Amino acid sequence: MMRYIKLVNFEINRFSKIYLSLLLITLVSQFAGVIIVTKSLLDDARDIMKEERLSEAAYITNYGGIDFNHIANSLLFVGPIALSAVALIFYIFLIWYRDWFGKNTFIYRLLMLPTSRLSIYLSKATSIFLMVLGLIAFQIITLPMENALFNSYVPEALLNEMSISTITIANPILSLIIPSTFTQFLLSYGIGLMIMSILFTAIMFERSFRIKGIIMGLLYCGIAAVLFLAPVLMEIGNFYFYPNELFGLMLAIGIILTGLSVWLGAWLLKNRVTV
């Protein structure tokens, strides 16, 4: 267990500089977005009131107030979230391939450690999942501060104040990464874990069989996608499920696919990937 924890810590440390950069970019960009977009909205509102000779009350009646949705939908706000997501998806591949193609072919040393290769597999998966949760936790911490800054910057007469829960529900990206219920959390991050395990297995196919492995990995991803979406495809074909039945089926298939992918990926790492 201690070796597994050390491996997780080792993997996180290897990505720490890039990870901290992502956090810093998110912090600076989103707070800059609050200031820049809010100033632009207020300038536009004042121009309209001046041109049309409207009072603040009349402006609210004609155009509505200013709320945090304007910020949450801006590029400066959602851009860092998208960048972080892309970086972590890329890291799913980098976390394996840099060990093979780095200067010292580190995978040789890694696979010869006196520990189970399953621990190596799980440590890489765990490190990525922990970094995802860390980014989400960081967003949960910064969002109330950004909202408070926005509320203090907009005049009370023009402000449509929103709670944090309302902001996350109203914005599609935030509602995806910050689920409002535990069921949604299981669904969103369970699917994320399943996709990561499937991609890990595809990488193991490629490392085990090279060119043939690429084809095998793509086929495995395709079959897994069809199996997971089978209940939805059946509904399109007029085979009706109740919502609870559809959720239960997809949850069961997701758990099976995740378990199968972890087992198969670990088996390939142990029996087919050689040093």
Per residue in 19-50, pLDDT tens? 999 999 999 999 999 999 999 999 999 888 88
Per residue in 44-81, pLDDT tens? 998 888 888 888 888 888 888 899 999 999 999 999 99
Q: Is the pLDDT of residue 134 over 90?
A: yes
109 vs 127: which has the higher pLDDT? 127
As a dihedral over the C-alpha atoms of residue 22, residue 190, residue 194, residue 241, rounded to 10 degrees, the angle is -140
Query: Among 6-10, 41-45, 243-247, which stretch is predicted with the lowest mean pLDDT?
Result: 243-247
Alpha helices in the chain (DSSP H): 2-52, 56-63, 69-72, 75-101, 107-111, 117-153, 164-170, 172-177, 182-236, 243-271
CA distance 219 to 238: 27
92 vs 1: which has the higher pLDDT? 92
Burial class (CB in 10 A: 0-12, 13-18, 19+), 2: exposed
Supply the DSSP symbol for 275.
-
pLDDT of residue 79: 95
pLDDT of residue 114: 75
- pTM given for the model: 0.88
pLDDT of residue 239: 74
Residue 103: pLDDT band (50, 70, 90) is low
Q: Is the pLDDT of residue 210 over 80?
A: yes
Supply the DSSP symbol for 102.
S
Residue 131: pLDDT band (50, 70, 90) is very high
pLDDT of residue 180: 83
Closest CA to 67 of 110, 26, 38, 99: 38
Region 218-238 average pLDDT: 87
Residue for token pair 């595809």: 202
pLDDT of residue 105: 67
8, 126 contact by CB (below 8 A): yes
Q: Is the pLDDT of residue 132 over 70?
A: yes
CA distance 29 to 85: 15
Residue 16: pLDDT band (50, 70, 90) is very high
What does the block give as tokens for 193?
């874990």
For 166-196, give the secondary structure using H, E and C: HHHHHCHHHHHHCCCCHHHHHHHHHHHHHHH
pLDDT of residue 187: 84
Region 137-143 average pLDDT: 95
Give the C-alpha distances (Å, rounded to integers) separating 247 from 193, 226, 234, 244, 250.
17, 16, 13, 5, 5
pLDDT of residue 275: 60
Give the C-alpha distances (Å, rounded to integers) separating 110 from 128, 149, 268.
18, 47, 15
Average pLDDT along the chain: 89
How many residues are given for the chain?
275
pLDDT of residue 100: 83
Per residue in 173-184, pLDDT tens? 999 899 888 888
Q: Is the pLDDT of residue 219 over 90?
A: yes
pLDDT of residue 7: 87
Q: Is the pLDDT of residue 237 over 70?
A: no
